[in-house]
Amino acid sequence: MSDQQNRPDTPRPEVVNEAVVIVDGRQAARGAWGLVLAVGIVAAVFGILVLANIWGSVRLVAILAGLFLLFAGILQFFLGGSGRTGRIIAGVIAIIAGVALIAWPEASVKTVAVIVGLAFLISGISVAVAAISARADGYGAVVGVGAVLAVIGLVFIIWPGPTVTLLMVLVGLAALLFGIGAVVQALSMRRALQGRG
């Protein structure tokens, strides 16, 4: 036995069989801004496609609005910063509304309008409040997008009997604005990362 093995205060080498994974927070944030940017671009393209097909049926409106709400709801889970609880609540409501519209596309125009209106109103308020709380770069544009979404939601709720064409225009406009807001948010997240790095 050597001296090193006899001394209790000497650290002994041990064989460790477990792998240790170190997660870099900055790397995760880089992935998050990229995801937000991608979803924003998809939402903007989706809005343009909806606006290009404004003479669709109620069934098509319901499915497209449901898909948009699903995208918008899922995105809320990936946004960081303050106001996260409000965004998660808005995300869950948007996902539930999106699934309802996709599963029940035969609903009347009024039903589709009210479901979409409630989801837009809650999401718009939540996005605006979260942006005001965070006050990150470009938050004014995000607050504006949230306010416009909330107003569109109110229009849907107060006047739930619009024509299919008007409903498609409002859904397309909301998706386009949401996409622009998400792109602005992603770029401000990227700027913040570069400032820290």
With respect to residue 26, please indicate whether it lies within any of the assigned structural domains: no
Q: Which residues contact 32 (CB under 8 A, 6 or more apart)?
A: 78, 79, 80, 189
How many domains is the chain built from?
Answer: 1
**Contact (Cβ atoms closer than 8 angstroms) between residue 43 and residue 73:** no
Q: How far apart are CA 111 and CA 62, in angstroms?
A: 10
Distances (CA, A) of 148 to 33, 55, 143: 23, 23, 9
Residue 119's pLDDT is what?
83
User: Where in the sequence is the domain holding 114, given as residue range(s)?
Assistant: 32-196
With respect to residue 66, please indicate whether it lies within any of the assigned structural domains: yes
Structure tokens at 28: 């995760």
Q: Tokens 């924003």 appear where?
A: 40
Q: pLDDT over 90 for what percent of the chain?
A: 1
**Rg (alpha carbons) of the chain, rounded to whole number:** 23
Considering only residues 72 and 5, tell me which one the structure prediction assigns the higher pLDDT: 72
Structure tokens at 68: 């948009």
- Summarised one tens digit per residue, pLDDT across range 1-34 is 555 555 555 555 454 444 333 334 455 556 678 8
With respect to residue 5, please indicate whether it lies within any of the assigned structural domains: no
With respect to residue 118, please indicate whether it lies within any of the assigned structural domains: yes
The DSSP code for 159 is S
With respect to residue 18, please indicate whether it lies within any of the assigned structural domains: no
**Contact (Cβ atoms closer than 8 angstroms) between residue 16 and residue 158:** no
Residue 196's pLDDT is what?
66
With respect to residue 21, please indicate whether it lies within any of the assigned structural domains: no
What's the maximum distance between 2 C-alpha atoms anywhere in the chain?
90
Predicted model pTM:
0.57
Distances (CA, A) of 177 to 57, 141, 172, 183, 189: 23, 10, 9, 10, 18
With respect to residue 10, please indicate whether it lies within any of the assigned structural domains: no
With respect to residue 163, please indicate whether it lies within any of the assigned structural domains: yes
